[in-house]
Amino acid sequence: MDRSRRFRSVIAAACVLISLLPGCGENRSDQPKAAVPSSNPAASVPEPAQARPLEFSITPRYEVALFLLDEPSDMLTAEATRVIEQVRPEASIVNDFSEQITKAEFLVELLSTEKYTVPDEKYLGYFGRGMTKDQAKAVQSSKHALILVAFSPRDESLSMVRDMEQIVARLQASTGALVYDGETHEMFTGEAWKARRIDTWDGDVPNVRQQIVLHSYPTGQLTRCVSLGMVKFGYPDVAVNEVPRSFSRSMASLVNLLCHTRVERSDDPTASTVALDIDALKHAELRELMIKSLEEKATRRASVRLARSTPEEGDPDNELVELVFDGLPDESLQVRQQAVVSALFGARDSVEMVKHNAAVEEVSRKARALCIAEKKPLIQKGLPTNHRLLVKAPFAAPDGRQEWMWVEVTEWEAERISGILMNDPYFVPNLKAGANVNVDESVIFDYLHYLPDGEVEGNTTAALLSRPKEPAKDEE
């Protein structure tokens, strides 16, 4: 690892965290045409990279920049050095890091914002923690940043992280600076830094969920999720590829649990299999939060497999692994993903036996026409970030009935819709949530269009059904 004095430029392009999720079924027995599982090999999603030995060595690193809103004192770097010596007297203050880190080393430097750039206002709208628009605007005028970088042996990573956060809090209080975490690319006010980075420790155990950040961004009509910040603890960051937008939040919960478990248990960073156990978490607040969010039949335990992953542009400056989802050869990657998260966290799904009267059929016809006229062009152009489109369609059961379920739309060519099944069927065997399916637009019963501001369009038939109910949302 290159430990020379270098500072990474601030990422200016914001990855967007995608908000989520529906899922629920409805049954009736008199629809003429059914959606079908996809038989087109092109509709299948590529498998994750084959597992490679996790042979790497990660030295824990923590980089922080304090963007100063006023001209700095001539004694600022000396003050920072004194604070470091008070909080961690055994640490070395260095100009260049040692090739072999045997104890914590800190570097302090005052740089101009021409060399260490300020994130722009748009970026801070996503990743400014506790910041107002006025603060995001004011920091654009900052001329100097006080840079702190620490390395430590891995067995000292927790104390290094905690000490760095105390050091930063003291310097922020004396300068009024805005704090930028160079590993997670977030900016904090002093109050937000304290609330997220200092007050969330449980004894000697950090809430890792508050120490890292997950970026989720579109890859076509699916998404990729990647963590940033695990280098602080000497662990690789984690990526999950080809996730349906509607599964993104539950997948984020899995990644958060994985990252926290590794740090809390001091697991071997090169391990390719990690056992997860929600009940065994030592961090009481996080454990209770996760237990409270569980759905029916949650096992609370899982074993996950990791493989070496190839970083993409914008990924963290750290080693990277990806989650590998095992399953049957004919199962899609999304079926395997959903099987893990639904077993671990449980799932909320329901079935209702309903009859569609003339009023329901008329509302459905209008919904179908509107979906084809207005939503189909959106998919064909490329659905914008933080939007999701689902359609409700019938699937044929062996006994002749139709089971109506939600499908997240990933492609719409001519009259054929391709997508990911959001529900586990009750009456259709050999079909699971996450399956690639095809739907003819002529059988759309209703649609749901989730917008970035939290509004939802569609599902107009729900108000006329015997027990109106919107699909249950998957919550973290």
Residue 33 has a pLDDT of 56
What is the distance between the alpha carbons of residues 101 and 150, in angstroms, rounded to a whole number? Answer: 10
Mean pLDDT across the chain: 88
- Mean predicted confidence (pLDDT) in 359-387: 95
What is the distance between the alpha carbons of residues 26 and 28, in angstroms, rounded to a whole number? Answer: 7
What is the distance between the alpha carbons of residues 157 and 363, in angstroms, rounded to a whole number? Answer: 60
42 versus 166: which is more confidently predicted? 166
Q: With 60 as the cut, is the pLDDT of residue 297 above it?
A: yes
Q: What percent of the chain has pLDDT over 90?
A: 78
**By C-alpha distance, which of 295, 264, 336 is closest to 473?**
295
Residue 44 has a pLDDT of 42
169 versus 10: which is more confidently predicted? 169
- Token readout for 373 is 């006229």
The dihedral built from the CA positions of residue 272, 275, 278 and 281, taken in this order, carries a sign that is negative
Q: Which is it for strands 178-181 and 61-68: parallel, antiparallel or unpaired?
A: antiparallel
E strand intervals along 131-206: 144-151, 178-181, 186-188
Residue 5 has a pLDDT of 36
pLDDT band at 469 (very low <50, low <70, confident <90, very high): very low
Max CA pair span of the chain? 82
pLDDT tens-digit profile of 260-287? 999 999 999 999 999 999 999 999 999 9
This prediction's pTM? 0.85
Residue 307 three-state SS: strand
Q: Please answer whether residues 421 and 432 qualify as being in contact, where contact means their C-beta atoms are separated by less than 8 angstroms.
A: yes
- Token readout for 302 is 């899982």
pLDDT band at 328 (very low <50, low <70, confident <90, very high): confident
Q: What percent of the chain has pLDDT over 70?
A: 85
pLDDT tens-digit profile of 175-218? 999 999 999 999 999 999 999 999 999 999 999 999 999 999 88
pLDDT tens-digit profile of 45-81? 444 444 456 889 999 999 999 999 999 999 999 999 9
Report helix, strand and coil shares of the chain as percent, to nearest 5. Answer: 30, 25, 45
Q: Please answer whether residues 179 and 66 qualify as being in contact, where contact means their C-beta atoms are separated by less than 8 angstroms.
A: yes
**10 Å Cβ neighbour count for 219?**
11
pLDDT tens-digit profile of 411-450? 999 999 999 999 999 999 989 999 999 999 999 999 999 9
Residue 227 three-state SS: strand
